[in-house]
Amino acid sequence: MHLLEKLQILANSAKYDVSCSSSGSGRSGKKGQVGNAAMAGICHSWTEDGRCISLLKVLFTNHCIYDCKYCVNRVTNDIKRASFTPDELSELTVEFYRRNYIEGLFLSSAVLKSPDHTMELIITTLKKLRYEHRFNGYIHVKSIPGADLSLIYQAGLLADRMSINIELPSVESLRLLAPQKDHQTIIKPMSFVSQQIRGANELTIYRKKQMFVPAGQTTQLIVGASRDSDLTILRLTQELYNRYKLKRVYYSAYVPVNNDKNLPSVNTSPPLLREHRIYQADWLLRFYGFSADELLDEEHPSFDTRIDPKCDWALRNLDKFPVEINRAPLETLLRVPGIGYKMAERIVRARRIAPLSYEDLKRMRVVLKRAKYFITCMGKYYGDVDIDSGNLYSILSEKTNQKTIEGQISMFE
Amino acid sequence: MIYVTDGSFEGILTAIYDAYENKEDPESIVSQGFYQVSLDSGVREISTDEEKYRRVYNAVIRKMSQQAIEIMYKAWLSEYTEIGTALYKYLKIGLKLGPKVLSYLQNPDVSLVNDLAGKVSFEAHRFLGILRFKKLASGLYYARIEPDNNIIMLVTEHFKNRFSDQPWMIHDAKRKVFALYDTNQVIFINEDIDIQTENDKDTVFEELWKNYFKAISIEDRKNPGLQKRFLPRRYWRNLTEMQ
């Protein structure tokens, strides 16, 4: 098969993996090698669906022994199959890289013959890249569920980032939709990698830093393939950040690709808005000091589609508002709807020099559309309706115009 | 009084030096050809002076911080027509406030320079990603760019570090400036040279890349508006995957 056709098939099969970030590793170029890694990550292009391309994201193979019901590559699907050779893929990566098309490689795979066999092919590819092509750029590699931990360790020495996709957010959904995988084959390697990362960091105290997955570990959860609630997803996310120290959890709105009685029908459109709300909540967990149980509970297990999670929280906690922009501590400013991390920091720095008026905030490019109902500036309230008038929900809720909502979907806000 | 400079960063800082030296407070610092003669203000021609420039440059670092001079320089790269006056006002406030000027964003003069610098940094970072090299028959990797701001100086270090073993050339076709790297050092050339690359075929990998670009997009999530927001149309003509 021609390389062009292979690339089409194996990119097409990899596209539902939403992660593409190239951040978290800072590494300078070295003499005689090609490449470095930029701490903040770099996006190289944006496809027609508005998602960024940073890494060359492909499967090594889409031949699979498994029959996971949600997956396009399941063994019982009649689709075109292909596999790269380690030589083809390592050369392709370097040639793309030298033309500045990409930041590096994101290598995932279906399971060919056995998890160990697949993992070995991946390792061979990475070794060719690192040692033959002297490639010093970014590599994100997937752990194949069920592969021997010693193989996962080897891959971790060659990669910047590793991930293993949980995909289904509960044991129950996993049993229903991916009966050949069990929970342990995912959690065990994740826990192993997180221990190794910690170990590598401790070693740096004694000697030169040993590279083991320096950009950390990530995972992906599918939204809307199973019946799991937003609350289930968010609690799991929180545990992944706290216990396994994951760098990111990605969410992928399920695009129905298969027919099955336990799946949404193939005519269902992907729940993009729900995915968007979960991303917003994820940011609140990571950067804004919120916990999952503040945002959702058993009585409200799903996010409101018309209002973002922070606004939703604020409306349920109106007794905490309005806050004075010139006095509220950073943690409190971060909880004001419409005020992001960058703006909160700007405010704290600027008010040390001179007190801030409402006009000052505008000049500093603070978006006041929502914030004005939750703050005072020098004691004065600027909302056009009173905070406890009971009208805020309708004022703040977004028009359910699908276009504007989709337009806001961005992972880089 | 209106001060007229050659428009260079050095020229503007020289003008600022002269203003303090002459104990004058010019109403504007403009570059040649960019000002209208006004009957009631005098005009002073400033000749760029390396020594005066150095002294202002170092004073900014000493009194306001390294970051302040970087912000001023980046703001200048925006080619904003009133940049001379803007930098002068910024510096006047900075000399009073010291390093705190960086945070004084409620002030319109400070926030203007800060915004200009932010816009330039943003575009420079964007070009680390969207610059495309074409491998010419000679082995040289050639990139053509047309950025809104004069960012070429801000991106060459990155490409030198990343592609240290390959010769490359970055060509700002808008400003007719070249950065040339010979695997040893980067030199800048300011000349109007017409570069023809049509006969240089780099078809194999360009075709692979274009096909990859199409295959990785999810049809059910199609959202061209979002794509254009991240990647405005004006950048497309130099992007391999958009041809």
For residues A291 and A314, membership in a common domain is answered with no
Helix, strand, or coil here: A185? helix
Per-residue confidence band for B39, with pLDDT thresholds at 50, 70 and 90: low
**pLDDT per position as a tens digit, A316-357:** 999 999 999 999 999 999 999 999 999 999 999 999 999 999
For residues A155 and A61, membership in a common domain is answered with yes
Token couple for A194? 């997180």
Q: What is the pTM of this model?
A: 0.91
B154-171 exposure pattern, b = at least 16 Cβ within 10 A, e = fewer: bbbebbbebbbebbbbbb
Q: Is A50 in contact with B226 (Cβ distance < 8 A)?
A: yes
The Cα B111–Cα B105 span in angstroms is 5
Q: How far is A299 from chain B (nearest CA, A)?
A: 31
Q: How many domains does chain A have?
A: 2
Token couple for B77? 């790269």
Closest partner CB to A350 (pick from B106, B125, B208): B106
Phi/psi class of residue B61: alpha, beta or left (left: φ > 0; alpha: ψ in -120 to 50)? alpha
pLDDT for the residue A401: 47
Boundaries of domain holding A208 = 3-295
For residues A41 and A178, membership in a common domain is answered with yes
For residues A161 and A265, membership in a common domain is answered with yes
Q: Is B223 in contact with A56 (Cβ distance < 8 A)?
A: no
A310 close to B (CB below 8 A):
no
Please report, for residues B13, B68, B72, B102, B153, the alpha-carbon distance to residue B86 in angstroms, rounded to integers and kept in the order given.
12, 14, 9, 15, 21
A316 close to B (CB below 8 A):
no
Average pLDDT of chain A is 90
Contacts of A353 in chain B (CB under 8 A): 97, 100, 103-104, 106
Residues 101-130 of A with CB under 8 A from B: 101, 103
A187 close to B (CB below 8 A):
no
The Cα B57–Cα B10 span in angstroms is 9
Does A385 reside within a domain?
yes
Residues in chain A: 413
Token couple for B193? 């040279």
Token couple for A226? 């199973």
Does A301 reside within a domain?
no
Q: How far is A156 from chain B (nearest CA, A)?
A: 23
Best mutation target among A6, A10, A48 (most B Cβ atoms within 10 Å) is A48
Between A176 and B135, name the one with better pLDDT: B135
Q: Residue B233 above 50 pLDDT? A: yes
Q: Residue A180 above 50 pLDDT? A: yes
Does A304 reside within a domain?
no
Please report, for residues A384, B148, B172, B181, B232, the alpha-carbon distance to residue B151 in angstroms, rounded to integers and kept in the order given.
43, 8, 9, 17, 17
For residues A289 and A392, membership in a common domain is answered with no
pLDDT for the residue A405: 44
Between A386 and B33, name the one with better pLDDT: A386
Contacts of B227 in chain A (CB under 8 A): 46-50
| For range A221-246, the mean pLDDT | 94
pLDDT for the residue A11: 96
The Cα B215–Cα B231 span in angstroms is 18
Q: Residue A412 above 80 pLDDT? A: no
**pLDDT per position as a tens digit, A352-404:** 999 999 999 999 989 999 999 999 999 999 998 888 878 889 888 876 544 44
Q: Is B166 in contact with A28 (Cβ distance < 8 A)?
A: no
For residues A279 and A389, membership in a common domain is answered with no
Q: Residue A202 above 50 pLDDT? A: yes
Please report, for residues A8, A139, B58, B120, the alpha-carbon distance to residue A52 in angstroms, rounded to integers and kept in the order given.
18, 17, 41, 21
- Neighbour-count burial of A58, counting CB atoms closer than 10 A to its CB (0-12 exposed, 13-18 middle, 19+ buried): buried
For residues A194 and A336, membership in a common domain is answered with no
Q: How far is B28 from chain A (nearest CA, A)?
A: 23
| Percent above pLDDT 70 for chain B | 97
Q: Residue A163 above 70 pLDDT? A: yes
pLDDT for the residue A394: 87
Closest partner CB to A49 (pick from B97, B160, B222): B222
For residues A251 and A345, membership in a common domain is answered with no
| Percent above pLDDT 70 for chain A | 94
Please identify, among A272, A295, A318, the residue that sits at the C-terminal boundary of a domain. A295
**pLDDT per position as a tens digit, A260-319:** 888 898 888 889 999 999 999 999 999 999 999 999 999 999 999 899 999 999 999 999
Per-residue confidence band for B34, with pLDDT thresholds at 50, 70 and 90: low
Best mutation target among B111, B162, B219 (most A Cβ atoms within 10 Å) is B162
Closest partner CB to B216 (pick from A15, A103, A361): A15
For residues A240 and A331, membership in a common domain is answered with no
**pLDDT per position as a tens digit, A70-94:** 888 999 999 999 999 999 999 999 9
**SS3 letters across A82-133:** CECCHHHHHHHHHHHHHCCCCCEEEEECCCCCCHHHHHHHHHHHHHHHHHHC
Which residues have a Cβ under 8 Å from the Cβ of A64 and sit 6 or more positions away?
A71, A73, A74, A75, A110, A111, A112
Please report, for residues A41, A118, A257, A272, B214, the alpha-carbon distance to residue A70 in angstroms, rounded to integers and kept in the order given.
30, 21, 7, 17, 23
Between A395 and B104, name the one with better pLDDT: B104
| Percent above pLDDT 90 for chain B | 86
Please report, for residues A34, A284, A312, A355, A413, the alpha-carbon distance to residue A304 in angstroms, rounded to integers and kept in the order given.
48, 15, 7, 36, 20
Please identify, among A266, A295, A324, the residue that sits at the C-terminal boundary of a domain. A295
| For range A141-157, the mean pLDDT | 94
**pLDDT per position as a tens digit, A7-41:** 999 999 999 887 778 888 888 998 889 999 998 99
List the domain boundaries for chain B.
Answer: 2-122, 127-242
Best mutation target among A6, A7, A79, A101 (most B Cβ atoms within 10 Å) is A101
Least confident range from B83-92, B110-119, B198-207: namely: B198-207
Token couple for B51? 């020594």
pLDDT for the residue A387: 84
Does A226 reside within a domain?
yes
Q: Which long-range contacts (CB under 8 A, 24 or more apart) does A205-211 make?
A: A210/A157, A211/A157
The per-type count for chain B, helices as H runs and strands as E runs, is 8, 8
By CA distance, what is A42's nearest residue in B? Answer: B129
Average pLDDT of chain B is 94
Q: Residue B213 above 70 pLDDT? A: yes
| For range B96-119, the mean pLDDT | 96
For residues A336 and A290, membership in a common domain is answered with no
For residues A118 and A231, membership in a common domain is answered with yes
Q: Residue B120 above 50 pLDDT? A: yes
For residues A204 and A325, membership in a common domain is answered with no
Q: At how many degrees (to 10) do helices A230-243 and A272-287 cross?
A: 40
Cβ–Cβ under 8 Å, residues B120 and B73: no
